[in-house]
Amino acid sequence: MTNTPLSCPLQCNGCPQKGLDLKAQHLEKMNWLKTKLAPWQTVIREINFDENKLWNYRDKVCLKAQFENEWKIGLVKHDEISEISDCQVHTKKINEFIKKLKLVLPPYELFPLAYVNISKAQATLVLKTKTLPSLFLGENFYQELSSLEIEGLWLHLNPVCGMNVFMGKNWKLIWGQERSKNEQGLLYGPASFSQLLFNLHQDSLKKCVAFFNLSFESRIVDLYCGNGNSLFHWQKSSAFLMGIEIAKEAVECAQINIPNAQILRGLAKDRLPQIKEFIKDGPYFLYANPSRTGLEKETASWIAGHPPEKMAYLSCSAGTLRRDLEILEQNLKVIEILPYDFFPRTRHIETLVLLSKKSQ
């Protein structure tokens, strides 16, 4: 017996585990994780998941748009788009938005849409042009957005968009507000990163809080801090806070969301001098949630040479995680590995690693 919904297109490659029940999904993920992290498989725990978010859970998507006499919006496989306007992994809000959008979109020559990106309550239409189109989508469509709980609609002009959907400039808000608030009340924008499955992500952060056991004298460095979701938890201890983030929008939001934290923009490796100054007065703690490329080599080497009392590392790539752990283990010991299923029905698994400074 499988869990594939009847409306799921057979050619869609978005959920490679869609034919497996939950037990089989987790077994496949766990076997893969233990292979990738073989040196530490004895401390890998069971997969954490949210049983209430197995369907209609995805509230952040980036979908390809293609026009061939009519618009198709979905995922690409072999240069063809699989229509997924009734996707049962996406939230109903996203499905309804896509359906309504297709009804009002002008043809490609007037509106060169390349991608549709939705981040919770913020939606962005990415156009492959450097010229703002004179034709928009109509007041009736804009009025319907509120009923879908969309709070901001953007046009992003990216004449060279391909694998890189966004570029740094050419954003225009055409309806609504430029910032929304998440479940914690923290501001985010159309390009701000946040983890899927809010409650499950909160669980991972609460485990970090318990592991760190921060005090008002503690210092914690938060690498790739985004708009401040993790900093929000560390600040409850009244510890000294530093966040490092490369994305301009996320930095602006973090500075508002966590005003008592020192937020620096840039790559972690380029902010090592400021980190060194920040931790000079005593022991420190470290949290990292990098992209799939993992820690920069310079950053991993610096952490290994200046080990925190405790470190928590949330990884979305077991391959780069293994590489980084092999460096960090010079002076840090892996205590526990906690897998998190933020992407049910895919082969993707997030991994939280808790490390402690080795005794001298």
Give the model's pLDDT for residue 262: 98
Instruction: Dump pLDDT digits (tens) for 118-140.
Output: 999 999 999 999 999 987 788 88
Give the model's pLDDT for residue 68: 87
Sketch the domain layout of the chain as residue ranges. Answer: 23-52+196-357, 60-188
Residue 134, helix vs strand vs coil: coil
Query: What pTM was computed for the model?
Result: 0.94
Residue 2 confidence (pLDDT) above 50: no
DSSP state of 23: H
Lookup: tokens for 167: 């570029």
What average pLDDT does range 170-186 have in this prediction? 96
**Which residue type, as a one-letter code, is found at position 61?**
V
Give the model's pLDDT for residue 171: 96
Question: Which CATH code, of 2.40.50.1070, 2.60.40.3950, 2.30.29.30, 1.20.1740.10, is assigned to 60-188?
Answer: 2.40.50.1070
Which of 213, 221, 226, 228 is closest to 278 using CA atoms? 221
**Which residue type, as a one-letter code, is found at position 171?**
W
Give the model's pLDDT for residue 183: 95
DSSP string, 245-298: E--HHHHHHHHHH-TTSEEEES-GGGGHHHHHHHTTTS--EEEE---TT-S-HH
Instruction: Dump pLDDT digits (tens) for 181-232.
Output: 999 999 999 998 889 999 999 999 999 999 999 998 899 999 999 999 999 9
- Measured between alpha carbons, how far is 253 from 287 in angstroms, rounded to an integer? 19
What average pLDDT does range 300-309 have in this prediction? 98
Give the model's pLDDT for residue 7: 62
Taking the domain 23-52+196-357, which CATH number applies? 3.40.50.150
Instruction: Dump pLDDT digits (tens) for 229-246.
Output: 999 999 999 999 999 999
How far out from the chain centre does Cα 80 lie?
Answer: 26
**Which residue type, as a one-letter code, is found at position 242?**
M
Give the model's pLDDT for residue 243: 98
Residue 142, helix vs strand vs coil: helix
Residue 131, helix vs strand vs coil: coil
The CA distances from residue 163 to 14, 63, 114, 199, in Å, are 17, 12, 11, 30
Residue 155 confidence (pLDDT) above 90: yes
Better pLDDT: 80 or 184: 184
23-52+196-357 against 60-188: fold identical: no
Residue 348, helix vs strand vs coil: coil
Give the model's pLDDT for residue 3: 52
Residue 6 confidence (pLDDT) above 60: no
